């Protein structure tokens, strides 16, 4: 256990001091805005949750996937997506877990709007503090 902690701490130390200049220039930062058929909202969320969990676990090129639903319009979903580069995104959209989500939810999605964005501070890694 101590060894594992040590390895994680070392990795985190590297993650803190590692320069990401190259990565920034290639990153894809996008907001996916979806409107879901309310009658399928819980089923949709289950598909999305599984897809995000699997992507973050098995795809190093998926840097961030973070989904929120609006409190006043719970069937309005926004997903903040950060991919390492275009190749990471091309890989992502043909993975079995993405296709399972995509095909499994097609009939639940009333609209999908993909908004390509530029981060205000690409040099600052997105992080949620403890």
Nearest distance from C-beta of residue 97 to its own copies, angstroms: 15
User: Is the Cβ of residue 63 or residue 108 nearer to its own copies in the bound state?
Assistant: 63
Q: Rule CB under 8 A: is residue 57 a binding residue for its own copies?
A: no
Reading the block at residue 75, the tokens are 């069937």
Report CA 29 to chain centroid distance, whole Å. Answer: 10
Please, what is the angle between helix 41-58 and helix 96-105, to 10°?
A: 170
Reading the block at residue 107, the tokens are 């009939």
Q: Which stretch binds its own copies (CB under 8 A): 34-42, 57-65, 91-99, 103-111?
A: 57-65
Other CB atoms within a 10 A radius of the CB of residue 66 amount to: 13
Q: Which stretch binds its own copies (CB under 8 A): 35-43, 76-84, 90-98, 101-109?
A: 76-84
* Cβ atoms of residues 74 and 90 within 8 Å: no
Residue with tokens 């992080």: 127
Q: Rule CB under 8 A: is residue 3 a binding residue for its own copies?
A: no
Interface contacts to its own copies, rule CB under 8 A: 5, 8-9, 12-18, 20, 23, 29, 31, 45, 48-49, 52-53, 56, 60, 62-64, 66-72, 74, 77-78, 80, 82, 115-121, 124-130
């Amino acid at each position: 256990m101590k060894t594992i902690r040590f390895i994680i701490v070392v990795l985190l130390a590297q993650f803190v001091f590692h320069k990401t200049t190259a990565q920034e220039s290639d990153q894809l930062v996008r907001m996916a805005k979806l409107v879901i058929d309310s009658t399928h909202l819980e089923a949709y969320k289950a598909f999305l949750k599984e897809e995000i969990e699997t992507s973050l676990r098995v795809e190093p090129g998926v840097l961030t996937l973070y989904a929120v639903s609006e409190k006043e319009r719970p069937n309005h979903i926004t997903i903040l997506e950060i991919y390492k580069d275009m190749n990471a995104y091309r890989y992502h959209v043909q993975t079995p877990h993405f296709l399972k989500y995509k095909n499994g939810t097609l009939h639940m999605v009333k609209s999908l709007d993909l908004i390509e964005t530029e981060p205000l501070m690409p040099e600052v890694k997105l992080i949620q503090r403890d």
